[in-house]
Amino acid sequence: MKNSAFAGFLRWLDGDPEILLGAEEMTEQPDVPRDSQKQRIHHLEHVLKDHPLPVPRAFSRRNVRIFYAVVSVVCCLVIISCLLLAVSDLPRFGVEHAEVEEVTEKYVLDGLEETGAVNIVSGIILDYRAFDTLGESFVLFCALNCVLILLRTDSREEEHDISYYSLSGDDVLRKSIMFTLPLVLVFGVYVLLNGHLSPGGGFSGGAVMGGGLILLSTGYGGEVTGRFITERRFKTVCFIALSFYCLSKSYVFFTGANGLETGISLGTPGAILSSGLILPLNIAVGMVVTCTMYGIYRMFKKGSF
């Protein structure tokens, strides 16, 4: 009873900061000198390279490899032949199938009227299935966070940059980037903003803009892009874009509607300022994708912003 959570809570109320200290999980461990352990592992690696451990004959590396190869050939053949069998029974390619048409019919015929988007795919992913796309942006954000966790280098273990691998001093690259970069960025912005009128949208436009930033950072070094993309600005843009998307679509949870009525007028279809929330959502998604692509690139390249 003395160590229960409630007693701990009472002690915390009394001002004891370490409420779990008496419990058995928190008994003090002798401090393991991790560095010496690392050194030992390193030493063992060297010793074992010269004298490998004996392995039973049946499980020798060669036998295991042959067994693995045979099993994978069999697996591949079985899976491919099953899939080919299934495909040969599918309806003919390119011919309309009458029985799967209900959802499509709704989307194609009512889409323009209900969402205001001329591009039906854009209307689907940002209006009918906007929640799906919200999850997708969060997948991208999670990927960025994982890469940050895995590849970030501390200032302590500063990675010394080997300049002769870097292309950033190259004159040819710089000149060609000077000509192509404005085109790439303008094309990215065009694709991003016209997502509801023409093919494209948040994901492709964001990827093109991220590619432009990557190009700039390759040619002119990370300092140039680092001047206007600081870590703080990066975080702010990601946060604002994601929370805007989240707030503008998650009210559906509470109202329980199908999420199409936003209160914003849909405008005339075909105009750039039309189709309600799709344009701002496209911009939000594009910002997240740009930040993710550039952030992942920076993490792979340098390990910090």
Partner 1 sequence: MLDKLLMNYELAFAVILFGVGLCTLLFHRNMIKKIIGLNIMDTGLYLLLASMGYVEGAKAPIIEDLTNIGEVADYINPVPSALVLTGIVVSVSVTAISLSLAVRLFKKYHSLDLDEIYAIARRQEKEVF
Partner 2 sequence: MEAFKIFLLVMLVACAVSVSLTKRLLTSVIIYMCYSLIMSIVWILLRSPDLAITEAAVGAGVSGILMLLTLKKIRRTATDDEAKEGSANEE
Q: Could you list the residues that contact partner 1 (CB under 8 A)?
A: 37, 40-41, 44-45, 48, 53, 61, 65, 69, 72, 75-76, 79-80, 83-85, 87-90, 92-96, 100-101, 103-105, 107-109, 112, 118-121, 124-125, 129, 132-133, 136, 139-140, 142-144, 146-147, 150-151, 198-199, 203, 269-270, 289, 292, 296, 299-300
Helical packing angle, 231-250 and 278-301, nearest 10°: 150
Selection from 280, 286, 267, 282 nearest residue 112 by Cα: 267
Q: Select from partner 1, partner 2, none the partner in contact with residue 85, using the beta carbon and a kind-dependent cut-off of 5 to 8 Å.
A: partner 1
Q: Select from partner 1, partner 2, none the partner in contact with residue 72, using the beta carbon and a kind-dependent cut-off of 5 to 8 Å.
A: partner 1
- Residue 162 interacting with partner 2 (CB under 8 A): yes
Pick out residues in 137-156 that bind partner 2 (CB under 8 A).
Answer: none
Cβ 267 to partner 1, closest distance in Å?
12
Q: What's the CA gap between 136 and 288, in Å, rounded?
A: 11
In the complex with partner 1, the residue whose CB is nearer, 238 or 289, is 289
Cβ 18 to partner 1, closest distance in Å?
30
Selection from 6, 272, 229 nearest residue 116 by Cα: 272
Cβ 119 to partner 2, closest distance in Å?
7
- Residue 123 interacting with partner 2 (CB under 8 A): no
| Interface with partner 2 (CB under 8 A), residue from 115, 122, 194, 225 | 122
Burial (CB count <10 Å: 0-12, 13-18, 19+), residue 42: exposed
Selection from 289, 301, 303 nearest residue 143 by Cα: 289
- Residue 275 interacting with partner 2 (CB under 8 A): no
Tokens representing 106? 């709704």
Residue 278, phi then psi, degrees to nearest 5: -65, -40
Selection from 160, 79, 123 nearest residue 274 by Cα: 123
User: Phi/psi class of residue 201: alpha, beta or left (left: φ > 0; alpha: ψ in -120 to 50)?
Assistant: left
Residues that bind partner 2 (CB under 8 A): 119, 121-122, 162, 165, 191, 199-201, 203-204, 207-208, 210-211, 214, 293, 296-297, 300-301
